[in-house]
Amino acid sequence: MAFSSPVPAAERLPVTVLTGYLGAGKTTLLNRILTHEHGLKVAVIVNEFGEVGIDNQLVVDADEEIFEMNNGCICCTVRGDLIRIIGNLMKRRDRFDHLVIETTGLADPAPVIQTFFVDEDLRDELRLDAVVTLVDLLHVNQHWLSEEVQEQLAFADVLVLNKADLVDDSERELVEQRVRVINPMARLLTSHMADVPMDQILGVGAFELERALSLDPGFLAEEHDHEHDDAVSSVALVEERPMDLEKLGRWISDLVGSRGPDLFRMKGIIQLAGKDERYVLQSVHMLIDGDFDRPWHDGERRRTEFVIIGRALEPDALRAGFAACVA
């Protein structure tokens, strides 16, 4: 089978695959891409692990084409949806210059890459520019042995060592050495709040099929096995009534204090009693951050949507604790 396209590479739509483990800073980098004055019109596909989409609501207001894929990992159950969405996007090809795909933090990038080579239509119209992997310098060692982290590091063309402000130089250098053992060829960037030069991640032409095949000779096969850790799951908490921030803060603090190592990622948009602004609450393991976002838009449905991703979660207990935080 030939994997070359009759369409010259310069005429095909460049695609950046944005990956990295839960909480590494992918959405922060995506927002930087959308707000940077690089002169590109960017289309975005956001994939999340769970039935409630939070990331797409945290993407800055922009005129870009933004598509959301929920309730399935882009690398397995919804890959057909990815092909369908890209197909619809290409009908409006004149409206954008670059496509960015933000994968869920539990995605193996190999089958996503595979999509652009085994589907004949996509192969003729798109060009994989780079796989950009964000690395959470503070927490990556806790997930080092997970298959997803290993795959994300191995297939990266650009590695962004993020949250450099939260570790000292010796910790950063240790992670850098471990990363280099897995992937000695990727371009390495260090960042705080995913602040990296756009010309280092967009339009870099860094992806090489030959290197991907050297990592996984079978990754262009039609079927790609990828199984998530059965102990890792997500719980979506949705509440129409306003929440009490003090109650919610105590509950989150107690939860993190008792289950922090098992709570990989928590993220949500909170409707608070008596407030006209959205409150965004996020955490990665023991690290919790919350702040007011933007005002609720006229006509926008005001409700709380909160997602917890972790190991050995107890949905009933989590829902009960969350419900007790209603104002």
Confidence of residue 53 (pLDDT cuts 50, 70, 90): very low
Confidence of residue 9 (pLDDT cuts 50, 70, 90): low
Residue 4 reports pLDDT greater than 60: no
Contact 75, 111 (CB under 8 A): yes
Domains of the chain: which residue ranges? 11-215, 232-323
| Stronger pLDDT, 36 or 309, i.e. the higher one | 36
Distances from the Cα of 112 to the Cαs of 68, 79, 243, 244, in angstroms?
A: 16, 8, 38, 40
| CATH of 232-323 given 3.30.1220.10, 1.20.1340.10, 3.40.640.10, 3.30.870.10 | 3.30.1220.10
Residues β-bridged to residue 263: 310
116-165 pLDDT tens trace = 777 777 878 888 899 899 999 999 998 888 888 888 888 888 999 999 99
User: DSSP letters along 18-62, please?
Assistant: EEESTTSSHHHHHHHHHHS-SS--EEEEEE-SSSS--HHHHSPP-
Residues β-bridged to residue 243: 272, 326
User: DSSP letters along 229-271, please?
Assistant: -TTEEEEEEEESSPBPHHHHHHHHHHHHHHHGGGEEEEEEEE-
User: What are the tokens at 226?
Assistant: 């990828």
Nearest to 210 by CA among 219, 223, 201: 219
Question: Do the domains 11-215 and 232-323 sit in the same CATH topology, yes or no?
Answer: no
Edge-to-edge strands of the sheet including 287-295? 232-239, 304-311, 263-270, 277-284, 287-295
Contact 323, 239 (CB under 8 A): yes
Confidence of residue 7 (pLDDT cuts 50, 70, 90): low
Which pLDDT does position 72 carry in this prediction? 40
Contact 162, 194 (CB under 8 A): yes
Residues β-bridged to residue 288: 283
58-72, 157-171, 203-217 — which is least confidently predicted?
Answer: 58-72
SS3 66: strand
Q: What are phi and psi of 256, to 5 degrees?
A: -65, -40
Q: What is the pTM of this model?
A: 0.69
Which pLDDT does position 248 carry in this prediction? 94
Per-residue pLDDT, averaged over 197-217, amounts to 78
Contact 287, 24 (CB under 8 A): no
* Domain 11-215 sits in CATH 3.40.50.300: yes
